[in-house]
A and B are shown apart, each in its own frame.
Chain A
């Protein structure tokens, strides 16, 4: 057991990653983790509002065949092929879910389950058949390779060295996400909360739905390299869920989402350094821990607050007549 859980050494866990030798790689990993979680979290907020959290899960699984087919067809590992493949996969998933849901009596939840498992299965088979050609392996599919992000050549633009290609890509996607949300804030907000009002304002809800799904696949695919296909769902839901326990105002939730992203990324790196486990998984665990903290200690709706309120309010609402309890 001793070599299973390494000895906790403050120096090694908290200081060593930020010393001169490791500083650069730690900083890149932290930045990548932050960008992934922030971009996913911002998009994820709308998934939570629309009760489509598991559609996010479905799309994050089904980008795999999209990427694999795009790599196979283009015989390269270029970013363009990747984005095109992911976009196609996202649209196909959405269409399959809609078709099964509307053309048969199978309910939406089963439709989601069928669609993404089928596509993911196709993806896994392609990856295992053409592993050498696709340059993806099953491990990467499962939990990403965020630790390898700082390795390899850096992208440079106009003579200025910017950073590892995946980080640069993720940064662009994150900025674009922020921009898109800022520009289409009203459309997204109204169509998420009140489809009827959206229709009366002339907002095409179907278009917004498909646009959101497309952008979701873009975000998911750029996060793919870092965290794999399955842990993405955590990045999509956890920040928004945590934030929505603390506030009910969407702008505040957005801010808290970004804060949550930064915290879980940095804390995750330390956890992974301590336990010597997968960095992406450790980031998710820290994100869940933050959610747990918000669940218990949230000033508005936390468990602690509820318990206190109940205790303080107890004498006042003591019932005089015992209602018949029906088991």
Chain B
């Protein structure tokens, strides 16, 4: 075996001597790169799976829903320039009763493509078989729903749609790219137990709806390079006479959009978090290596005198940080693999792809390792340059005392109030403001990270409170199969357990403001509503007693309108238009929202008030009885229970945010420990003699420790508020990555989270500072005064 060169031996011994510094910095870099690997890897897995899935199922480019049109119209859609194929279908909201659940599940019935010869086009069969032609009682069911209820092919469901209840046999389970992320109307999170898409043969749906030879929904596939928006406009023109609800391009398709939003959020974090970490890494390497070079001044001079070139010396010190970076990359590959797997497993609970395979790409690892080495080199730049340019002759003399001057605090005379050890702390801060600033920034970053890891919980809690418990006072929402006169209220009050009932209406419209337009449904709510409170941005209730429209803040900003502006409202079913004034702005989580008084909304179109859904307040003890009763009523399209909805929402989000919280908390503490430990060790090394002198002068070990701990405390005092601010900014940026129009969740951060972030970092910092300061107490006063060798 070849003997290692002496300089390599020195490198190994230097690394070993500084092992805790090496380890803590490698961990910081490892955390940064593992964040990058896991998040970018997850991003790739998600977008790659989606891409593959779309390709395999030939996911459509344009979607349109309409009142009803004769099948012959399909040919006119197909004739639009750029359209390569059109598939018409019938779809209808439904409710489903399954054995193992008392409540009704919300469903969407869709007819399978292929007319009377149903095909699986656009679907992925997961178990069982396709519906057989001519058999009306068969259905395919979304796999997630079947799994949640333990259904297997052959099981029966009771389905109510089009006002008729029927039994269908589940013959197979499927995945649909339209339901990668599937939610019932008005839901915020997928709930596999309570929402399902059912696929029936076209004949069966036609028979139930009495819709032979017609369609009410279509999906279009376009030739490559076609402008989907242009096609959507043309589709709207063709379908205008048939109650076309406004064609939706792929980007606005709910499931697609949700996945895209998640990807955007992931992208934001995949950059933000690693960059923050790497900045801290640059700083730590800079501080530690600069110290190393300063300590080894005489050694460097000797090496130069012995005939080592400046380049050889530079490479020697560069190798030190490259080892740190390589160690960090090793940590990153292992941690990134584990975290990425965990992320993908979590996403697989929300996003139903045929395959969502985590894979750590080689190029990503290379990028990560490259980034680690690059960052290490960047951090080392100053120190390496110093080492290489050290004139060998000059270095033979010991360094002159470091230059201190009286800074602002001293000059203001404030320092007279401080004991001498305190003055040493202040002078050190004044002397190395950049180092202090970066250390403060590092501590701030770790606090910010802990906040980022926790704020999703707070935001969801807040949502539960404000948006639902306050704004939605009702316990149960019953969606009717068709609009009913207000007479229905009386029969609803007669249902078991119902204490109060209110009507709501929904009118699909297109809003025009100048050249801007948006499609949504105006919700009509009773002017004196007790069960539905609409709040403005300051949390005050809005009373819908004024003529005019109340718009969600996000919608108003998209349309660029203010209170007092008049906009054009076009009905999507018959295209009549009205001019309506915007009278108030409401604070909504779902941006595509507009309200009017119920009677006002009907009067606008010269109609009698009708109710499309009922808000019920229910005696909790009789909820089950009510549910069973509702399940037998054919006029009921959907039943949503606020409490179970909330519980389901919490359960799904909680498991996800828990994984995230744990990972980010560990990351945050890694940074805090890295910053405090390395800063402490460097301070100690730089000032060992000075501190030993204090011991000789009669200061106790504790008093001397305050010089080191005091410096850290000073950094923390500034770092904590900075971190709280930084965390708030990052949380806002992450929530801001979601399109406000679809889904507005202002980041909410609770006092508990702020406290947790500050305290955990303070605890980590304190423990680390103590361990460093312990060395001071064992410092032999006399040894440190001897000439150094």
The answer to whether A binds B is: no
